[in-house]
Amino acid sequence: MSSDLRLSVLDQSPIPEGATGSDALRNTIDLARHTDALGYHRYWVAEHHGGPMLAGPSPEALIGPIAANTAGIRVGSGGVMLPHYSPLKVAESFSLLAGLYPGRIDLGLGRAPGTDSMTMFALQRDRRQASPDDFPQQLAELLGYLEDDLPDDFPFAHLAKHLPGLPEAPEPWLLGSSAQSAIWAGEMGLPYAFADFINPGGAEFAKLYRERFAPGVRLNASRTAVSVWVIAADTDDEAQRLASSSRMAMAMLRRGQLIAVPPVEKARRFLEQQGTPQGSQPAGRRAIIGAPAKVRAGIEEVADSYGAEEVIVVTITFDHDARKRSYELLADAFGLTPRTAASAVA
């Protein structure tokens, strides 16, 4: 794998046990400054609703403060869950951000609800019936506003000329973890980010994306990123110890119980009681955990299997400093070039 592999961040704004959502959001700003200075390529924030573990329901509200506190890193959504929203409202919000931070804003779009079915229903403005499953139509309308190429007879076509950030625009990405998302991304000529940390069997879908890619629609060539769960520490044992917190949280999630990110020792006791050996992975999940050399090799292997030019790293630990240290070790392992201007912003 080439050393030109780009490294980026996906931050889900985890809430440690005993902390608040406000603490988690401040940690997000701090981590964004830190990874900007380290030389990461982009910083995406996720959308999740209605639980005690993750404090990021509104990427569009969080991107501005992150961009204001960083210097050169691209900032965006990983992603906006489009079925909850009006395409025009999303286009306006991200146009505004692009106008304020030219050349730095990404609009990652997803189809998943980011929550349970009841919370999804609570997010609807009209609750007389479930929202229609019309994601392709929503996506086409949103892109039409951003690119001002809606059909003349479309009733809202004129609104594209009044987006607040013009002439700047965000860069759209399609996110996914299935074959259908790969097909849509390819046929619409969009860059594609696959969530390997949700579905580690996505290499074939990335291949399908490239096979279906329509050059010239938006890009001349396909662009693939893969998002991977990673924890790096000074030793393999320490990385596995830190990973206990997220393993317990995932085990409870599979039982239908959402919890804040537990402390390491509490999580280790829980896993021992469950008979879960240290280092074991939940069924259907992949995590790259270990010392820097081991983690670099694992990341390069995944990127190679996907044919990806970029890896977007997801890291959750109980201790915020351990999460920052993980990204430091990774940056050093890949020889990222620090941004000196970012230190001044921080």
Phi, psi of 314 (to 5 degrees): -105, 125
Measured CA to CA, the distance from residue 96 to residue 107 in angstroms comes to: 12
In this prediction, what percent of the chain has a pLDDT beyond 70? 95
Q: Is 2's pLDDT higher than 70?
A: no
Give me the torsion for CA of 320, 308, 72, 143, rounded to 10°: -110
Q: What is the pLDDT of residue 221?
A: 96
269 domain residue, yes or no:
yes
Residue type, 56: G
Q: How many domains is the chain partitioned into structurally?
A: 1
Which residue from 234, 229, 265, 228 is spatially nearest to 248, judged by alpha carbons?
265
pTM above 0.85, yes or no: yes
Residue 235 lies in a domain: yes
Q: CB-based contacts of 208: which residues, under 8 Å, 6+ apart?
A: 179, 182, 183, 186
Distance of CA 346 to the CA centre of its chain: 22
Specify whether the CB–CB gap between 10 and 78 falls below 8 A.
Answer: yes
pLDDT at 57 over 90: yes
pLDDT level of residue 91 (50, 70, 90 thresholds)? very high
Peptide bond into 201 cis (omega under 30): no
- Overall average pLDDT of the 137-144 stretch: 96
d(CA 50, CA 20): 14
Q: Considering the domain boundaries, does residue 26 fall inside one?
A: yes
Nearest alpha-carbon partner for 79 in 188, 249, 198, 189: 198
- Residue range 48-65: mean pLDDT, rounded: 94
- pLDDT, residue 179, reads 94
pLDDT tier at 126, thresholds 50, 70, 90? confident
What is the model's pLDDT at position 114?
62
- DSSP-assigned beta bridge partners for residue 174: 109, 192
**Predicted confidence (pLDDT) per residue in 293-321, tens digit:** 999 999 999 999 999 999 999 999 999 99
pLDDT for 236 beyond 60: yes
CATH of the domain at 267: 3.20.20.30
Q: Record the tokens describing residue 93, joined without a space.
A: 């919000």
Residue 283's pLDDT band, with cuts at 50, 70 and 90, is low
57-71, 125-139, 247-261, 292-306: segment of lowest average pLDDT: 125-139
Is the pLDDT score of 241 beyond 50?
yes
Which residues form the domain of 55?
Answer: 6-345
Q: Which band of pLDDT confidence, cut at 50, 70 and 90, is reported for residue 282?
A: low
Which of 188, 229, 224 minimizes the C-alpha distance to 203? 224
> What per-residue confidence (pLDDT) applies to 1?
39
- The SS3 call for residue 296 is helix
To the nearest 10 degrees (0 to 180), the angle between helices 21-38 and 320-334 is 20
Which pLDDT value is given to residue 112? 80
How does the average pLDDT of the chain come out, rounded?
Answer: 93
- List C-alpha distances in Å: 139 to 2, 50, 188: 33, 25, 10
Please indicate, yes or no, if residue 1 is contained in any of the structural domains.
Answer: no
151: Cβ contacts below 8 Å, ≥ 6 apart: 157
pLDDT in tens, 111-124: 887 677 777 777 77
